[in-house]
């Protein structure tokens, strides 16, 4: 089976072609970062306009290297959410048109499931049976969750953030420090050589009934961190930004690692750990995970950098890894309606 994947949930326009057994034939991504940078974050209207302009070009780029071209495809997979409604609508619209034109089934995909299955995209990636059950930190600009993956399609969310996402905390912290959007990579760069012990930021690992009710047993919280850095910067106007960045980055990553460590101590059957999503590019987080895996004698799986941030290869991978029977009816073009009942468990 050969699948054309489409992703447009936020500020990346992407298309990719994958076939089974899982192999990436092409993956094209057009980033809009520059368009949004002057505003310090993603502007939905700008994003929608940029998707509209980029989609035809990205589609062409994705199909060009594929032998057999459009006629060799068996299905179209498209991100249906979560994401910005206006951005999603453009991808869904283009996907619907393409599916009708080629008379192919259209498969709606959950963006976060795409991130989880990005774990299997590298040419030398292990098979799901070798990896699962695994504990995965799903860390993006919009979501933070600790997920137990038993197999592709079988997920259990053990914890999620009760407020901001880890990436959002990095982006907002970066903005307060005067760094450009998106802030995660900028903080990582600035933090090099900084003293992570210079500021004590709170550990975003809330306890108590309310936190458990809202975020599960391994709930995360990052809004306090954001407030702390604001106060810290106000109180220390001439302080070292390098040290602050190092301490802030360490606080975000330690909060993620703490929850993972706790879950590992309670889950004896876990074969491996991993991080996926944009924040998974972070070297401090990767080093922490590698260390944790070493301590527990289990595997640490990494995702190539290009597949950490939003891409369409991870979207096309979902039906292939799940061995889904493509639904014959294209979904109605309404991401909000489509999202209902399709949240990760």
- Chain position carrying tokens 């879950």: 263
By the rule CB under 5 A, 310 interacts with Zn ion: yes
Q: Is 40 left (phi over 0), alpha (psi -120 to 50) or beta?
A: left
By the rule CB under 6 A, 204 interacts with ligand KG4: no
Print the binding letters for residues 263-302 with ligand KG4: x by CB under 6 A, - otherwise.
Answer: --------------xxx-xx--------------------
Q: Are strands 75-81 and 106-110 parallel, antiparallel or unpaired?
A: parallel
**Given 128, 141, 159, 288, the residue binding ligand KG4 (CB under 6 A):** 141
Nearer to ligand KG4, 72 or 258 (CB): 258
Nearer to ligand KG4, 113 or 171 (CB): 171
The C-alpha angle with vertex 157 and arms to 154 and 162, in degrees rounded to 5, equals 155
By the rule CB under 6 A, 256 interacts with ligand KG4: no
Nearer to Zn ion, 113 or 243 (CB): 113
By the rule CB under 6 A, 7 interacts with ligand KG4: no
| Binding residues for Zn ion restricted to 134-153, rule: CB under 5 A | 140
By the rule CB under 6 A, 91 interacts with ligand KG4: no
By the rule CB under 6 A, 163 interacts with ligand KG4: no
**Among candidates 276, 331, 319, 292, which has minimal Cα distance to 125?**
276
Nearer to Zn ion, 140 or 221 (CB): 140
Contact 6, 312 (CB under 8 A): yes
By the rule CB under 6 A, 113 interacts with ligand KG4: no
Contact 151, 229 (CB under 8 A): no
By the rule CB under 5 A, 282 interacts with Zn ion: no
- Rounded Cα distance between 167 and 249, Å, is 11
Q: Could you tell me the two tokens for 131?
A: 């990896």
In whole angstroms, the minimum distance from the beta carbon of 12 to Zn ion comes to 8
In whole angstroms, the minimum distance from the beta carbon of 183 to ligand KG4 comes to 5
**Given 13, 32, 140, 255, the residue binding ligand KG4 (CB under 6 A):** 140
Q: Could you tell me the two tokens for 246?
A: 């190092």
**Given 61, 113, 163, 188, the residue binding ligand KG4 (CB under 6 A):** 188
In whole angstroms, the minimum distance from the beta carbon of 68 to ligand KG4 comes to 30
By the rule CB under 6 A, 182 interacts with ligand KG4: yes
- Rounded Cα distance between 224 and 203, Å, is 9
Burial class (CB in 10 A: 0-12, 13-18, 19+), 305: exposed
- Rounded Cα distance between 144 and 153, Å, is 19
- Rounded Cα distance between 27 and 74, Å, is 17
Cis peptide leading into residue 21 (ω within 30°): yes
Helix (H) or strand (E) holding 156: strand 154-160
In whole angstroms, the minimum distance from the beta carbon of 111 to Zn ion comes to 6
By the rule CB under 6 A, 225 interacts with ligand KG4: no
Q: Which residues bind Zn ion (CB under 5 A)?
A: 140, 310
Footprint of ligand KG4 (CB under 6 A): 10, 140-142, 167, 170-171, 182-185, 188, 277-279, 281-282, 309-310
């Amino acid at each position: 089976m050969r699948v054309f994947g489409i992703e447009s949930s936020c500020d990346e326009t992407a298309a990719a072609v994958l076939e089974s057994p899982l192999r990436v034939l092409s993956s094209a991504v057009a980033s809009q970062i520059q368009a949004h940078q002057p505003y310090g974050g993603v502007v939905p209207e700008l994003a929608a306009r940029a998707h509209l302009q980029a989609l035809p070009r990205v589609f062409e780029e994705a199909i060009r290297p594929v032998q057999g071209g459009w006629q060799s495809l068996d299905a179209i997979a498209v991100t249906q959410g979560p994401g910005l409604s206006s951005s999603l609508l453009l991808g869904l619209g283009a996907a619907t048109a393409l599916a009708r034109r080629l008379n192919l089934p259209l498969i709606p995909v959950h963006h976060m499931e795409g991130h989880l299955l990005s774990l299997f995209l590298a040419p030398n990636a292990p098979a799901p049976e070798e990896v699962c059950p695994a504990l995965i930190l799903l860390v993006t600009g919009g979501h933070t969750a600790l997920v137990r993956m038993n197999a592709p399609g079988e997920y259990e969310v053990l914890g999620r953030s009760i407020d901001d996402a880890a990436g959002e905390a990095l982006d907002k912290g970066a903005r307060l420090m005067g760094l450009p959007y998106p802030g995660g990579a900028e903080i990582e760069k600035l933090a090099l050589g900084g003293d992570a012990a210079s500021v004590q930021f709170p550990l975003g690992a809330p306890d108590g009934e309310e936190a458990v009710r809202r975020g599960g047993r391994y709930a995360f919280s990052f809004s306090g961190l954001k407030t702390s850095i604001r106060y810290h910067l106000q109180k220390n106007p001439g302080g070292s930004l390098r040290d602050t960045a190092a301490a802030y980055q360490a606080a975000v990553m330690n909060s993620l690692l703490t929850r993972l460590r706790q879950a590992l101590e309670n889950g004896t059957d876990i074969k491996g750990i991993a991080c996926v999503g944009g924040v998974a590019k972070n070297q401090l987080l990767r080093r922490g995970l590698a260390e944790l895996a070493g301590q527990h004698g289990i595997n640490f799986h990494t995702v190539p950098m290009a597949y950490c941030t939003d891409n369409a290869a991870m979207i096309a991978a979902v039906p292939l890894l799940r061995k889904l029977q493509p639904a014959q009816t294209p979904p109605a073009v309404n991401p909000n309606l489509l999202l209902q009942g399709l949240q990760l468990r």
